[in-house]
A and B are shown apart, each in its own frame.
Chain A
Amino acid sequence: MKKVIMEIQGMHCASCASNVEKSLSKTQGVKNARVNMIAKKGYADIEDSVSEEDLRKAVRRAGYNIAKINYE
Chain B
Amino acid sequence: MEMKHDMQHEHNVHVKNDEQDHSSMEDEEIKDWKMKLIGSLIFAIPILIFMVLDRIFGITLFNEEIVILSLLILGFPIVFIFGFSTIKSGFRGLFSFYFNMDSLIALGTIIAYLTGIFALFGKVADYSGISAMIMAIFIIGKYIEAKARGRATQEIKKLLELGAKNARILRGKEELEIQIEEIKIGDIMIVKPGEKIPTDGIVVRGESSVDESMITGESMPVEKKAKNNVIGATINQDGILYVKAIKIGKDTFLSHIIKLVEEAQGTKVPIQKLADKITSVFVPAILVLAVLSFIGWLIISGDLSRSIGVAVAVLVIACPCSLGLAVPIALTVGSGIGAKSGILIRRGEAIQTMKEVKIIVFDKTGTITKGKPEVTDIYSKVKENYLLEVASSLENLSEHPIARAIVKKANESGIKKFKEVKKFSILRGRGIEGSIGKNKIIIGNSGLMHLNKISLKGFEQNINKLESEGKTLMIAAENGKVLGLMAVADALKEDSINAISELNKQGYRTVMLTGDNKRTAEAIAKEVGIKEVIANVLPEDKAKKVEELQKRAMVAFVGDGINDAPALKQSNVGIAIGTGTDIAIEAGDLVLANGSLTSVLHSINLSKKTFRKIKQNLFWAFAYNVIAIPVAVLGLLHPIIAEAAMALSSITVVTNANLLRKAKI
Considering only CB atoms and an 8 Å cut-off, how many residues of chain B contact the other chain? 40
- What residue of chain A has the Cβ atom nearest to residue B14's Cβ? A70
B80 proximal to A (CB < 8 A)? no
Shortest CB-to-CB span from A14 to chain B, Å, is 2
Considering residues A7, A13, A17, which has the most beta carbons from chain B within 10 angstroms of its beta carbon?
A13
Shortest CB-to-CB span from B269 to chain A, Å, is 12
Given A12-B29, A34-B267, A19-B100 contact (CB < 8 Å): yes
Is there an interface contact between A41 and B280, defined as CB atoms closer than 8 Å? no
Is there an interface contact between B21 and A68, defined as CB atoms closer than 8 Å? yes
Is there an interface contact between B100 and A15, defined as CB atoms closer than 8 Å? yes
Interface of A is mostly: mixed
Return chain B residues, CB-CB under 8 Å to A19.
93, 98-100
Return chain B residues, CB-CB under 8 Å to A61.
96, 98
Return chain A residues, CB-CB under 8 Å to B100.
13, 15-16, 19, 63
Is there an interface contact between A15 and B324, defined as CB atoms closer than 8 Å? yes
A50 proximal to B (CB < 8 A)? no
What's the Cα separation between A23 and B96 when bound, in Å?
11
Contact mask for chain A residues 40-71; partner B; CB cutoff 8 A; 1 contact, 0 none: 11010000000000000000011100011010
Given A38-B152, A38-B332, A67-B21, A43-B324 contact (CB < 8 Å): no
What's the Cα separation between A39 and B156 when bound, in Å?
10
A18 proximal to B (CB < 8 A)? yes
A27 proximal to B (CB < 8 A)? no
Q: How many A-B residue pairs have CB under 8 A?
A: 95
Return chain B residues, CB-CB under 8 Å to A37.
324-325, 328
Is there an interface contact between A14 and B21, defined as CB atoms closer than 8 Å? no
What's the Cα separation between A12 and B29 when bound, in Å?
9
Considering only CB atoms and an 8 Å cut-off, how many residues of chain A contact the other chain? 29
Q: Select which of A13, A17, A36, A67 is within 8 A of B25 by beta carbon.
A: A67
Given A14-B279, A18-B280, A63-B89, A38-B98 contact (CB < 8 Å): no
What's the Cα separation between A24 and B213 when bound, in Å?
40
- What residue of chain A has the Cβ atom nearest to residue B92's Cβ? A63
Q: Select which of A9, A13, A22, A68 is within 8 A of B101 by beta carbon.
A: A13
B582 proximal to A (CB < 8 A)? no
B282 proximal to A (CB < 8 A)? yes
Return chain A residues, CB-CB under 8 Å to B207.
none
Return chain A residues, CB-CB under 8 Å to B149.
38
Is there an interface contact between B280 and A39, defined as CB atoms closer than 8 Å? no
Q: A35-B266, A40-B25 are in contact. List 9 more A-B contacts (CB 8 A).
A: A13-B101, A14-B324, A15-B279, A19-B93, A34-B268, A39-B262, A61-B96, A63-B100, A70-B18
Can you name 29 A-B residue pairings with CB atoms under 8 Å? Answer: A7-B25, A13-B100, A13-B101, A14-B101, A14-B323, A14-B325, A14-B328, A15-B101, A15-B279, A15-B280, A15-B283, A15-B324, A17-B324, A23-B98, A34-B266, A35-B266, A36-B262, A36-B266, A37-B325, A38-B328, A39-B153, A39-B266, A40-B25, A40-B26, A41-B262, A61-B96, A61-B98, A62-B96, A62-B98
Binding site for B on A (CB under 8 A): 5, 7, 9-10, 12-19, 22-23, 34-41, 43, 61-63, 67-68, 70
